[in-house]
Chain A
Amino acid sequence: MTVAERITRWIAQIHASSQAALAVRLVIALAGAIALVVPGVQDWDQVDVVVLVGPALLIACVVLPDSLASLMFMAVVAGGWLFRAPSGVSWGVVVTGIALLAVHLASAFAAQIPSYAQVSRRALQRWLLPAMIAALLAPVVAVAAALVRNAEVPGSLLVTVAALAAATAAVWFASGQSAVDRES
């Protein structure tokens, strides 16, 4: 397929884009913009690479949701936050976390349908509950972390090891590894 044919096909697909595909890409764009802007308005200086690379990666996320672009965008934003932000919990990190979650979920939904596909209204029915719980987790964890920090509870090796083990178990399970049943 020549470049001209490829461009023609893209234009035709944009013309034929369904409302669902456009709406979900709009969500990616809005949530991604929020994830870029919120760290930028904080007291600390934003990492330059986020400002330079972030918008380009966001455009890539909107155009190619079923690609590594979303992973790189989220990694850049989260990495930028961790490199420069002070070790604390603020409203900014909650908003950024929810925005990144929205980018992830919208990209996941957009990735499984062709842009021109006609999508049923009931398509998001089974997504609502986990998405709501995940979105609520961010403020809940933030509040819990703030409470613990304000209570000045000293950290211990045991708590750290337990948290690390829990995180490892969650990641182990989520990545599809299993000690019991192993598929061929």
Chain B
Amino acid sequence: MTWRPTHAQVRAVTLAAALLVVAVLARRPDAAVIGLPLAFVAVWGRYFRPRERPEVSSELDSDVLFEGQATTYRLQVSGTLDPDIDMVVAALPRTPWFRYDPMQAAIAEPVADGTVSLEVGVRSERWGLRQLERPNVIATSVLGAYRVQVQSGATLTVRTLPLREGFEAVDSVPRPAGLVGLHRSRRPGEGTELAGMRPFRTGDRLRRINWSVSARTRELHVTSTWSDRDTEVVILLDTGIEVGISEGIDGRSSSLDTAVRAAASIAEHYLRHGDRVRLVDTGSVVRGVRAGSGRAHLRRILDVLVHADRKGRQQDEAQLARRHRVRPDSLVLVLSPLLRQSILGYIVTLVHSGCTVIAVDTLPTDVADVIDLEQHDATAWPLAWRLRLLERRAELDRLGDLGVPTVPWRGAGTLDEVLRDAARVAAAPRIRS
């Protein structure tokens, strides 16, 4: 594509030609008064016609963002610009879940000193892997006489990680089992959490002797501690259904939004405390993340969560049980709207295998009010939801009878109460039959 005359240049040339011919042939000086300025503008525009076509490259300051985080999209002209190019205009097409600054993502920047750089702020509003469309870029000559469409670079991909708010829970897990970690176990041993004072016994380390207490009681006493342990936290993400409306990080959340964000927050919390975290996605056979710990493992989990999609092939209860075997002493957090029988069945299987299961309810509270008038009957839809929710309430009660507490996701502190209860139940003495 080459530099082409615009409507403005065609207009100036046509009118100037007509008026000047009339002025000369009909001896009309008034035609010359109107036509000569236009002729001058046309000649100026033609004389300063650019020859070279600019090439534009695009780049993002950061292609990995957290939800709500912003970065800068830069358009830069590679090489030296033709000095006769007056202005470069770029417009980014709208892409779902991105907000631009300026709002319409269209910028006109004059060429100064042979270079031009256009910057647009890009804010990602929802987790996921998305592409920013190529911008429409044109370059124009002075007086808007000529114009050329500029080839812009390749489409850019932005990976938005579903992590924003800090999640905190009480420092207790029902069955701490590993050798290292930050949770206080039920067992005395080497650790940092103070358990009490007791008389010295054979085998105690000398550095554990509390000399002030020993001097006061005239008997050797040691400071005893609880051992520090970790646990395996399994996050079961139900991607089989998405209920509710997704409006991004600043608006309403669908059940899948809530589940993915909760999974990221929970994983970050437990990995920060030294636990091993495993992710099971019901919608994918291969996208689970095996148990692991550390910052790199958090990134692995977040990268998998980015792909969470309800369009994935869902596994039924038997497939879940066969493909995702969970250790009996694990803490399993089920993030689900709890509407599918396969998930409820798998929870029962986990409970019977000895896991501590906590169901985090991700169903939006206003689910019955969300009506698509083109697809749903305005009268029957809320009624149907009401019936379904009553049925679901009964199913959750049955889960509660099995020892599976259900809590709605409320961010930080969601799991505190149920974790304390689960830890208390696990610590209670048991009678073996």
Contact = CB atoms under 8 A, between A and B. Distances in A.
Top 10 closest A-B pairs, CB basis? Answer: A108-B8, A145-B29, A174-B42, A108-B144, A117-B106, A167-B20, A116-B104, A134-B37, A171-B17, A97-B34
Interface string B256-281: 00000000000000000000000000
Contacts of B5: 175-176
Interface string B16-38: 11111111111111111111111
Contact of B7 (A70, A160, A163, A167): A70
A85 to B, nearest CB: 6
Nearest to A119: B108
B340 to A, nearest CB: 36
A137 B37 CA distance: 6
Interface stretch (B43-51, B170-178, B319-327, B401-409): B43-51
Contacts of B28: 82, 87
A160 B22 CA distance: 11
Given A71-B14, A112-B138, A137-B40, A82 B22 contact: yes
Interface stretch (B71-79, B85-93, B205-213, B224-232): B85-93
A174 B46 contact: yes
The number of chain B residues touching the other chain, given as a range, is 35 or more
Secondary structure call for the B interface: helix
Contacts of B13: 171, 174-175
A109 B141 CA distance: 11
Nearest to B87: A123
B190 to A, nearest CB: 63
B24 A171 contact: no
Contact of B106 (A118, A130, A134, A170): A118
B142 interface: yes
Interface of A: 13, 16, 20, 66-68, 70-71, 74-75, 78, 81-82, 85, 87-90, 93-94, 96-98, 100-101, 104-105, 107-109, 111-114, 116-120, 122-123, 125-127, 130-131, 133-135, 137-138, 141-142, 145-146, 148-149, 155, 160, 163-164, 167, 170-171, 173-176, 183
A148 B28 CA distance: 13
Given A70-B7, A74-B11, A119-B108, 13 more contacts: A70-B8, A78-B34, A100-B34, A112-B140, A118-B102, A118-B107, A122-B110, A130-B142, A163-B24, A167-B39, A170-B16, A170-B39, A174-B42
Contacts of B47: 173
A175 B24 CA distance: 19
Given A87-B29, A105-B143, A118-B106, A113 B89 contact: yes
A96 B30 CA distance: 10
A68 B14 CA distance: 12
A107 B15 CA distance: 15
B30 to A, nearest CB: 4
A85 B29 CA distance: 11
Given A108-B143, A118-B108, A127-B142, A97 B33 contact: yes
